[in-house]
Chains A and B, each alone.
Chain A
Amino acid sequence: QQQVKQSPQSLIVQKGGISIINCAYENTAFDYFPWYQQFPGKGPALLIAIRPDVSEKKEGRFTISFNKSAKQFSLHIMDSQPGDSATYFCAASTSYGKLTFGQGTILTVHP
């Protein structure tokens, strides 16, 4: 049972373009939604996170949009750069701390 569904599996974007990755969740008990970035040979690293009491959070070129009623959230990467090429994971957590990850999106930004 996949509680967090992520799409697309892979994404190719030109430098300067906008990358959009979407996630949907089922468990309404989730109350924390982080995005992790993973480069080859490295562990995932927290990129940005949001709580369900806000609809949007922006940090630099990265923005999370959150739609509580639709149980969906998305990551937008503005002005995508080749250095952003990585695998991105959305995740959701309940109050006792268990993270459930989406399937991951491999982002490739062409120069």
Chain B
Amino acid sequence: DTAVSQTPKYLVTQMGNDKSIKCEQNLGHDTMYWYKQDSKKFLKIMFSYNNKELIINETVPNRFSPKSPDKAHLNLHINSLELGDSAVYFCASSLHLDRDRLNIQYFGAGTRLSVL
């Protein structure tokens, strides 16, 4: 079983559309993240939820709205898609500061979003 799974793997859509990406983890973790990886492969955190509560909210357009229905799921909804939103979006999960105070994050395989 895949530890962190994202759907869809590929998403091709027109400018102005609204789309969602889903993420699920079966690791029993309490914290989930969304990252954006641009064309130069730079990885930047967008959001983080701990026990369904938003704890990290980086400077991201408010067209991006994360939703965490429970600890195992974190979805990302994007309104009014723009060309610049084209990127690979990664979901990750971790135990928020495990007993060794480490933050080992496990990543999904990514969703490649192409906005035409």
Contacts and interface: CB of A to CB of B under 8 A. Distances in A.
Interface of A: 31-32, 34, 36, 38, 41-46, 49, 87, 89, 93, 95-101, 103-104, 106
Contacts of B103: 32, 93, 97, 99
Interface residues of B, number: 26
A96 B55 contact: yes
A43 B40 contact: no
B48 A89 contact: no
A97 B103 CA distance: 6
B105 interface: yes
Contacts, number: 60
Given A89-B43, A96-B55, A49 B104 contact: yes
A43 B44 contact: no
Interface of B: 4, 31, 40-45, 48, 55-56, 90, 92, 94, 96-97, 101-110
Among A46, A100, A106, residue most surrounded by chain B Cβ atoms (within 10 Å)? A46
B42 A101 contact: yes
Given A32-B102, A32-B103, A49-B104, A43 B41 contact: no
A34 B104 contact: yes
Contact of A101 (B44, B55, B101, B110): B44
B108 A43 contact: yes
A61 B55 CA distance: 36
Given A32-B102, A95-B101, A98-B56, A42 B40 contact: no
